Amino acid sequence: MKATKLGSHIRNEFPIFQNNKKIEDGQTKPFSYLDSAVSAQKHESVIKAMTHHLEYDYGSVHRGAYGVSIRSSQMYENTRIKVANFIGKSVKPEQIVYTRGATESLNILASGIGEEFLNENSRIVIPAAEHHANLIPWQQVALRKNCELAYISFEGKSGDKLKLNLSEAKKLITKNTKVVSLAHVGNVLGQINPIHEIIEIAKKVDALVILDCAQSMTCIDEDLFALGADAIAFSPHKIYGPSGIGVLAMSKELMERLPPFTFGGAMISDVTLEGSQWTSGPAKFEAGTPPITETVGLGAAIDWVAKVGKQNIHDHAAALASEFLNKIQEIQDIEVFSPSTGQETIISFRHKKIHAHDLATILDADNIAMRAGHHCAWPLIRFLGVDALVRCSFAAYSDKDDIEIALAAIKKASNIT
Ligand SMILES: Cc1ncc(COP(=O)(O)O)c(C=O)c1O
């Protein structure tokens, strides 16, 4: 297990923990938030930046000739620069589109790639284990374009044997494959997918590579565009920033070719009653009033993550996840599904005698937040032969007390059955 460089002061910088202690029978139960994979809690600097923006600088962007609009526009574009730097050295601000979330980013890609690149002879390749946000949009496009959608399966049923079947990927990604789209890190099992290998295979046949970085952007520091990705999607709310905003980064070539997804104000260069022309660059995909204060929050979140260090956050969360995994395996009737390479920050498991939803409810009584269910990945959950899993995910503010409290509560629940 790697030593963590994150100090215990970090947790105190997230007000939610101070404000959610539970007092019962004179006993204080701290808030053990172990569901950061669904959405991370917000750092005080993000809350302050957003509040300050709303109180002093709020105005619509790129529309007003007056002070607050000009200041808001500057902040909006300034965050675009930060996002580009955050993704990687090879990325330019003109490649960054603000969306409403990773889901919308992936829908824009699937829909646009469908229109521009796919016909009835094309094949789309994705892993069968994807989050619905990177599965349903491709299903819809395949239906619309009457083309093939092929799935890469998993090898193994659980633990270290469970990984993306690369030899199958090699067979599926052939010259009629126009696009390969996959998660960098799996949202259910926390596995780090072999994106280097997949990019290499895809590039040999000139297929576009889309990476769903919703679970990896907070903790994996790698310039994915330099590696060969054509587009990436992620959600600021998972990197300690606000919800209501997403990021879509694309190569300049892809951005030029993709049609707009939403039509309206701000995305046009000319409109007549006979027809309209689209502007170029990110604005083509940013129709209507965009998230504004959210970009300010995203900028603050990026500053904070950059200051702490993505690698440090990863090492901290992965060390805790690894400790949790080792200890929970010792509890009777627990079956762990996540691999144990020591790099995962998400651990999914089930209790053979307590349904996942019941267990999550029991944990809540002890002020522990863990998610139970299908985790927006029904095909994967079915493949694993279960109907639901409990997912425990770690972040910068997680600590060893969270682990001990969660394990004690799970043992207590086990003893009741
Ligand atoms: C791997 C993955 N992709 C996509 C999404 C969708 O993100 P959002 O709900 O923020 O649009 C999630 C959210 O949990 C995710 O984990």
- Rounded CA gap, 11 and 6, in Å? 10
Ligand 1: atom nearest CA of 104 is 11
Cβ of 101 less than 6 Å from ligand 1: yes
Cβ of 133 less than 6 Å from ligand 1: yes
End-to-end CA distance of the chain: 33
Which residue has its alpha carbon closest to ligand 1 atom 15? 214
- Rounded CA gap, 267 and 290, in Å? 11
Residue 133 · residue 106 · CB < 8 Å: yes
DSSP, residue by residue, 60-123: -TTS-SSHHHHHHHHHHHHHHHHHHHHH-TT--GGGEEEESSHHHHHHHHHHHHHHHH--TT-E
User: What's the number of CA atoms in the CB half-sphere (13 Å) around residue 147?
Assistant: 23
Please name the residues in contact with 41: beta carbons below 8 A apart, sequence gap of 6 or more. Answer: 14, 16, 17, 33, 240, 395, 397
Ligand 1 mutation pick, 105, 109, 220, 235, max ligand atoms within 8 A of CB: 235
User: CA separation (Å) from 393 to 12, 372, 379?
Assistant: 19, 12, 21
In angstroms, what is the span from residue 215 Cα to ligand 1's centroid? Answer: 7
Question: Which residue in 147, 213, 219, 376 is the catalytic one?
Answer: 376
Axis-axis angle for helices 400-416, 310-328 (nearest 10)? 30
What is the pLDDT of the chain when averaged over all its residues? 95
Cα–chain center distance at 215: 4
Residue 3's pLDDT is 47
Cβ of 187 less than 6 Å from ligand 1: yes
Size (the chain), residues? 417
Which residue has its alpha carbon closest to ligand 1 atom 2? 214
Q: Mind listing the pLDDT tens digit for each residue in 112-127?
A: 999 999 999 999 999 9
Which tokens go with 215? Answer: 């679970």
All structural domains of the chain: 9-30+309-416 (3.90.1150.10), 48-306 (3.40.640.10)
Cα–chain center distance at 105: 11
Cβ of 235 less than 6 Å from ligand 1: yes
Which tokens go with 325? Answer: 């995994």
Cβ of 181 less than 6 Å from ligand 1: no
Establish whether 376 is a catalytic residue.
yes
In angstroms, what is the span from residue 182 Cα to ligand 1's centroid? Answer: 12
Residue 7's pLDDT is 74
Cβ of 183 less than 6 Å from ligand 1: yes
> Given the DSSP bridges, would you call strands 177-183 and 22-24 parallel, antiparallel or unpaired?
unpaired
Ligand 1 mutation pick, 36, 106, 184, 187, max ligand atoms within 8 A of CB: 187
- Rounded CA gap, 250 and 232, in Å? 7
Q: Where are the beta strands (DSSP E) in 199-340?
A: 208-212, 231-234, 246-250, 268-271, 276-278, 334-336
Return the closest-CA partner of residue 141 out of 169, 121, 119.
Answer: 119
Residue 158's pLDDT is 67
Residue 159's pLDDT is 67
Residue 258 · residue 208 · CB < 8 Å: no
Burial string for 120-139 (b: 16+ CB within 10 Å, else e) reads eebbbbbbbbbbbbbbbbbe
Residue 108 · residue 259 · CB < 8 Å: no
Ligand 1 mutation pick, 103, 130, 188, max ligand atoms within 8 A of CB: 103
Please name the residues in contact with 137: beta carbons below 8 A apart, sequence gap of 6 or more. Answer: 106, 107, 109, 110, 111
Return the closest-CA partner of residue 345 out of 316, 370, 317.
Answer: 317
Give mean pLDDT in consecutive 10-residue pieces for the chain, a chain of 417 residues.
70 97 92 98 98 98 95 98 96 98 98 98 97 98 98 81 90 97 96 96 98 91 93 98 98 97 95 96 97 98 96 96 97 94 95 97 97 94 94 97 97 87
Which residue has its alpha carbon closest to ligand 1 atom 14? 38
Residue 221's pLDDT is 82
- Mapping DSSP onto H, E and C, the string for 332-388 reads CCEEECCCCCCCCCEEEEEECCECHHHHHHHHHHCCEECEEECCCCHHHHHHCCCCC
Q: Mind listing the pLDDT tens digit for each residue in 134-175?
A: 999 999 999 999 999 999 998 876 666 778 999 999 999 999
| Residue 173 burial class via C-beta count within 10 angstroms: exposed 0-12, middle 13-18, buried 19 and up | buried
- Rounded CA gap, 249 and 210, in Å? 10
Residue 25 · residue 366 · CB < 8 Å: no
